[in-house]
């Protein structure tokens, strides 16, 4: 960070131009249901270009943007995403979907029981792959029609998939939101996963209860096409997830843990026959073709990586203009005076940042380093606690709004599955009732109001101001 303040024409209003252009264009694309990490590149590019003309010193402005792009936190996030993207692709290619489907179908579960089972399967898949969007796209074509014909309520059945995806995005060590929240706050993955588990599990139990009570009511019918897709061997891929989680909990660096997980997943996939020996990497038959799963995994996160880098450039300009310090000073002086108020400020600010943007990890990047971290540090909140407040916040309202990319992907998959089997699909507005998201928000507010799960940086038993 530079001591010199980046001077802008118009003062604070000129400094707000880049972020204003970014948010307006993000909302525009999102409301038009054209959002996504690649379309968002143009939004960030326009934001940086427009801001340049308000900078008094153009060279200082460019250097500030470059300092943001080269930020250490951003480098860690980008590198972790590269390995997490490959891990998700290997898990899917290894047959995890068919293995989870076999587990649910062979238990004889029907109606509400199957709805709960779908929720659990989506939780496991999202926990293993770290992608909420990928979970919805991968599981919906099989699980939605299966549950429909096994007597599940269509709305709750669809929401069980979305809720499970939100759980994995909230807790998985390989999730982009987990990685961003941890490293923007200077927390280790071990601290984050251990301390976040009670929050996520509590919300999951509440959601599972709702699915169990209201998830039935349909008529069970046989569906041979789904039986043909069953393959228990795919469950072996869960071993790779266990490897990643154990490595992270033992204090290994997240990239090291992901490398171990990738190797384990590839070996298991080859052993059980779901991945060909050359499937991970091989010389393509023609130029331009993919070299295999590794390339596909990296390609899958390139969009998010480039957008994250550009977001870091925009936020660095905000910081060096002094705007973030002014907002923080105002909040500390006029709004925030206690630990509870600080935590409410963090949660509220993060939720607000996630509402207009159709991807939730960039929302964390927007507020995490510049507002959440200094606010939490002032009240000596532990790094993992700050990360948990922020990560849980972006997994609440975010998973209920239809212009967000994961909700749009989820609903598109639901409609496609319904059309394929000639069954009905719930309206997209049903996402507003996502049980896990509302349960997580309730758990989060309970934790803030009571102090449960709160940790301080120097002493767990530090006194708090009411």
Distance CA 366, CA 353 (A): 8
Residue with tokens 């009732």: 433
What is the rounded end-to-end Cα distance, in angstroms, of the chain? 34
Gap between the Cα atoms of 245 and 113, Å rounded = 28
Q: Distance between CA 91 and CA 234 in Å, rounded?
A: 9
Cβ-Cβ contacts under 8 Å for 72 (sequence gap 6 or more): none
Q: What is the pLDDT of residue 334?
A: 73
Lookup: tokens for 263? 């190797």
pLDDT score recorded for residue 356? 65
Contact 359, 405 (CB under 8 A): yes
Q: What is the pLDDT of residue 460?
A: 42
User: Which are the contacts of 403, defined by CB distance < 8 A and separation ≥ 6?
Assistant: 30, 31, 33, 35, 358
Contact, 386 vs 187, CB < 8 A?
yes
pTM value is 0.72
- Residue pair 43/26 in contact (Cβ under 8 Å)? The answer is yes
- Spell out the SS3 assignment of the chain: CCCCCCCECCCHHHHCHHHHHHHHHHHHHHHCCCCCHHHHHHHHHHHHHHHHCCECCHHHHHHHHHHHHCCHHHHHHHHHHHHHHHHHHHHHHCCHHHHHHHHHHHCCCCHHHHHHHHHHHHHHHHHHHCCHHHHHHHHHHHHHHHHHHECCCHHHHHHHHHHHHHHHHHHCCCCHHHHHHHHHCCCCHHHHHHHHHHHHHHHHHHHHHHHHHHCCCCCECCCHHHHCCCCHHHHHHHHHHHHHHHHHHCCCCHHHHHHHHHHHHHHHHHHHCCCCCCCCCCCCCCCCCCCCHHHHHHHHHHHHHHHHHHHHHHHHHHHHHCHHHHHHHHHHHHHCCCHHHHHHHHHHHHHHHHCCCCCHHHHHHHHHHHHHHHHHHHCCECHHHHHHHHHHHCCCHHHHCCCCHHHHHHHHHHHHHHHHHCCCCCCHHHHHHCHHHHHHHHHHHHHHHHCCCCCECCCCCCCCCC
Q: Which of 2, 233, 205 is nearest to 102 (CA)?
A: 233
Separation CA 219–CA 232 (nearest Å):
26
| The token pair that represents 80 in the structure block | 């972790």
Q: How far is CA 139 from CA 120, 286, 397, 410, in A?
A: 12, 32, 22, 10
pLDDT at 2: 54
d(CA 223, CA 267): 33
Pick from 23, 59, 81: which is nearest to 309 by CA? Answer: 81
The torsion angles phi and psi of 8, rounded to 5 degrees, stand at: -125, 150
Q: How far is CA 337 from the centre of its chain?
A: 30
Rounded Cα distance between 101 and 146, Å, is 9
The residue to which tokens 């068919």 are assigned: 98
Number of residues in the chain: 466
Domain boundaries, the chain: 12-450
Distance CA 36, CA 19 (A): 18
Instruction: Give CA torsion, residues 212, 218, 221, 223, to 10 deg.
Output: -70
Count how many Cα atoms sit within 13 Å of the Cα of residue 377 in the half-sphere of its side chain: 12
pLDDT value of residue 464: 43
Q: What is the pLDDT of residue 302?
A: 84
- Per-run averaged pLDDT (10 residues), the chain, 466 residues: 76 87 81 72 92 94 90 72 82 79 73 91 85 81 81 94 95 89 91 94 97 83 62 87 78 80 93 90 86 88 80 82 74 81 93 76 83 91 96 94 77 82 85 96 97 82 39
pLDDT of residue 270: 94
| CA 387/CA 191 separation, integer angstroms | 10
Model pLDDT, residue 444: 97
- In this predicted structure, what is the pLDDT of residue 1? 44
Residues facing residue 150 across a β-bridge: 220
């Amino acid at each position: 960070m530079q001591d010199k303040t980046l001077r802008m024409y118009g003062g604070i209003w000129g400094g707000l131009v880049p972020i204003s252009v970014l948010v307006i264009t993000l909302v525009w694309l999102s409301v038009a249901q054209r959002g996504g990490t690649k379309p968002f590149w143009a939004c960030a590019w326009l934001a940086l270009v427009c801001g340049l003309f308000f900078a008094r010193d153009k060279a200082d402005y460019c250097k500030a943007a470059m300092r943001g792009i080269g930020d250490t936190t951003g480098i860690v996030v980008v590198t972790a995403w590269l390995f997490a993207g490959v891990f998700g692709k290997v898990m899917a290619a290894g047959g995890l979907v068919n293995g989870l489907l076999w587990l649910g179908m062979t238990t004889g579960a029907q109606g509400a029981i199957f709805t709960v089972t779908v929720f659990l399967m989506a939780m496991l898949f999202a926990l293993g792959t770290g992608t909420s969007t990928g979970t919805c796209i991968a599981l919906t074509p099989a699980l939605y029609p299966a549950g429909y014909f096994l007597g599940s309520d269509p709305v709750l059945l669809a929401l069980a998939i979305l809720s499970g995806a939100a759980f994995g995005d909230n807790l998985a060590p390989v999730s982009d939101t987990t990685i961003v929240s941890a490293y923007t706050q200077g927390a280790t993955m071990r601290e984050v996963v251990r301390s976040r588990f009670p929050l996520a599990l509590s919300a999951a139990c509440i959601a599972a209860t709702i699915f169990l009570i209201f998830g039935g009511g349909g008529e069970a019918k046989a569906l041979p096409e789904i039986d043909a897709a069953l393959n228990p061997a795919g469950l072996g891929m869960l071993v790779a997830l266990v490897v990643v989680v154990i490595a992270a909990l033992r204090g290994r660096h997240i990239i090291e843990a992901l490398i171990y997980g990738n190797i384990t997943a590839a070996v298991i996939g080859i052993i059980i026959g779901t991945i060909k020996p050359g499937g991970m990497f091989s010389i393509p038959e023609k130029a331009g073709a993919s070299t295999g799963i590794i390339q596909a995994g990296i390609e899958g996160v390139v969009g998010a990586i480039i957008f994250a880098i550009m977001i870091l450039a925009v936020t660095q300009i905000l910081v060096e203009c002094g705007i973030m310090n002014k907002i923080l000073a105002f909040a500390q002086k006029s709004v925030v005076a206690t630990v509870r108020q600080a935590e409410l400020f963090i949660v509220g600010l993060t939720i607000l940042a996630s509402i207009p943007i159709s991807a939730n990890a960039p929302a964390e990047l927007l507020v995490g380093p510049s507002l959440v971290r200094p606010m939490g540090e002032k009240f000596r909140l532990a790094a993992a606690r700050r990360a948990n407040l922020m990560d849980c916040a972006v997994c609440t309202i975010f998973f209920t709004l239809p212009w967000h990319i994961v909700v749009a992907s989820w609903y598109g998959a639901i409609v496609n599955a319904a059309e394929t089997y000639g069954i009905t699909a719930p309206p997209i507005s049903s996402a507003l009732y996502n049980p896990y998201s509302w349960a997580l928000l309730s758990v989060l507010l309970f934790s803030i109001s009571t102090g449960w799960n709160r940790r301080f940086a120097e002493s767990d038993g530090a006194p708090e101001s009411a």
